[in-house]
A and B are shown apart, each in its own frame.
Chain A
Amino acid sequence: MDWVNAIVQGVLIGGLYALFAAGLSLIFGVMRLVNIAHGDMIVAAAYLALVIVQATGLHPLASALLVVPLMALIGYAMQRVLLNPTIGKDLLSPLLVTFGISVILQNGLLVAFTADSRRLAAGSIETASIQLAPGLSLGVLPLLMFAASVLIIFGMELVFFRTSLGRAFRATSDDPEVAQLMNLNRNHVFGMAMALSAAVVAIAGIFLAIRTNFDPASGPARLIFGFEAVIIGGLGNLWGTLAGGVVLGVAQAVGAQISPGWQILAGHLVFFLVLGLRPRGLFPRMD
């Protein structure tokens, strides 16, 4: 039963990894940019939630009502002010800017919140669980988070394939030059992509803060998990990204079951295995 339990827990944490990954994948898809600051944005969102919860007494999950729009706004501004001026000339400059944002975020959070690790308490829901079988029970909170992750990915797919904003994303990704001739302001389209990515980051940050301890240096590891989930799942396919997150989560859970030291390593090994056997990921969609 331990193994079944481990795999189930892995699946559930995989939903969170998929959330880490979804915003990353969106930004790469629309502007061919790997946002190195993505993990740090997740951690920054976690701190933002912490501050809001402390200031207002809201439940951590309810804090999303403020954290999501705030992060979207910050994402939009960050794209327009910092990233857009460097995009389009070469691939390296915007990459370096995101690297700079990453360093600034980490150090800024360190100054503001010290290196102590924090956590958001979600109250009684944290311990609630459903008994599936003797010895196998599911936490209500992880289950809720997994369901939310699936819903968010479904929502992102809807935006991407069913709305005029999504059409603008795809057209700009296909041919940024001709997209401008369609009356699309490239700077705004990129800003909206970063806003959407940051909105998803906000949810990911809140979930992260409830599930685990976090500190100002937690970002890079989230970036790696998100990155691995994207690559395992296959570029340009959000459902693939969800599958990638689940594969990574299960690999880590099974690794931890073998020996605690194997948890993270097992995830990386599966990532390299997929990269070696199917370099384009399990479900590639993008050329």
Chain B
Amino acid sequence: MAEPILSIASLKAGYGDFQALFGIDLEVGPGETLALIGANGAGKTTLLRAITGLVGCAPAMVRLDGRPIGGMRPDRIAALGVAMVPEGRRLFRSLSVEENLLIGGERARRGDWTLERVYDLFPILRERRRNPATALSGGQQQMVAIGRALMANPRLILFDEISLGLAPVVIRDIYAAVPAIMASGVSAILVEQDVTRALAVARKFVCLQEGRVSLAGRPGEHDRQAITAAYFGLAR
């Protein structure tokens, strides 16, 4: 197997005295999509925050291309090609749609993703580019958040619950864009509550439960029951 882009080893992290992650191990290879699943409060977001530098940890716990980046300043990690679509979208409300996209591409790495390509991927955003980002519907806002991350031309993109709070038809529209994003060769971690959907687009998955990996592997490798048990922590 090719050298992993991201490797996480014995990652422990938390908020002040509260520990949320108790020794996580996982790897993401080039162009690979990893589904990260788990119940509410399992620690999925905390894991992504540790990768992006928003939560501290020891340097060697997170490596990008073998280089320790744990605890580095978030803007430095972003400059290395890690982008995040945060939980709850968190668009900049005083910026227009287009400005939200442009700021994602600020000092970006070189690559294929441009304003035009993002607009081609989500044509509705081109129409609404002058609007304040928060004047858009939830699904359109999610498109902006995804576009904003793509504009950085990341090597690794972290999606945190991009279907949260959206209607099923809208979720389908958003997921329709995922193959086009992956085709550009980017690696991804996809956090989802909707296990079926996550496993459909990922080659492998990691299930977290109360800050620990409760199950990991390829989607076909485990039956539904085992995954449900790992997810909810039943029958162990």
Contact = CB atoms under 8 A, between A and B. Distances in A.
A103 B162 CA distance: 50
B92 A184 contact: no
B106 interface: yes
Residue of A168, A171, A175, A183 contacting most chain B CB atoms (<10 Å): A183
Interface string B61-86: 00000000000011100110001101
B108 interface: yes
B92 A170 contact: yes
B103 A168 contact: yes
B94 interface: yes
A164 interface: yes
A183 B92 contact: no
Contacts of B107: 183
Given A164-B106, A167-B99, A183-B107, A177 B54 contact: yes
A171 B94 CA distance: 7
B52 A181 contact: yes
Which size class do B's interface residues fall under?
A: 20 to 34
Contacts of A170: 92, 94-95
Interface in B90-110: 90, 92-95, 99, 102-104, 106-108
A167 B102 contact: yes
A185 interface: yes
Contacts of A177: 54, 74
Nearest to A177: B54
Interface string A44-81: 00000000000000000000000000000000000000
B97 to A, nearest CB: 13
B150 interface: no
Nearest to B104: A182
A85 to B, nearest CB: 14
A168 B106 contact: yes
* Size band of the interface chain A makes with B: 10 to 19
Nearest to A175: B90
A174 B78 contact: no
Interface string A26-53: 0000000000000000000000000000
Interface string A168-195: 1011011101111111111000000000
B125 interface: no
Given A167-B99, A168-B106, A183 B79 contact: yes
B152 A183 contact: yes
Contact of A178 (B92, B99, B108, B152): B92
Contacts of A175: 90, 92
Given A167-B99, A168-B103, A177-B54, A183 B108 contact: yes
A179 to B, nearest CB: 8
Contact of A185 (B53, B75, B83, B84): B75
B86 A183 contact: no
B71 to A, nearest CB: 14
A184 B53 CA distance: 13
Contact of B106 (A173, A174, A178, A182): A182
A146 B148 CA distance: 41
Q: Name, among A175, A181, A186, the residue most crowded by chain B CB atoms within 10 Å (CB to CB).
A: A181
B108 to A, nearest CB: 7
Nearest to A188: B75
A173 B93 CA distance: 10
Nearest to A171: B92
Contacts of B52: 181
A174 B75 contact: no
Nearest to B84: A181
Contacts of A167: 95, 99, 102-103, 106
Nearest to B74: A180
Given A173-B94, A182-B152, A184-B103, 7 more contacts: A164-B102, A167-B99, A178-B86, A180-B53, A180-B74, A182-B104, A182-B106
23 contacts: A164-B106, A167-B102, A167-B106, A168-B103, A168-B106, A170-B94, A170-B95, A171-B103, A174-B95, A177-B54, A178-B92, A180-B73, A180-B74, A181-B74, A181-B78, A181-B83, A181-B84, A182-B78, A182-B106, A183-B79, A183-B108, A183-B152, A184-B106
Interface of A: 164, 167-168, 170-171, 173-175, 177-186
Interface of B: 52-54, 73-75, 78-79, 83-84, 86, 90, 92-95, 99, 102-104, 106-108, 148, 152
Which 5 A-B pairs have CB atoms at the shortest separation, nearest pair first? A180-B74, A174-B92, A183-B78, A171-B92, A170-B94
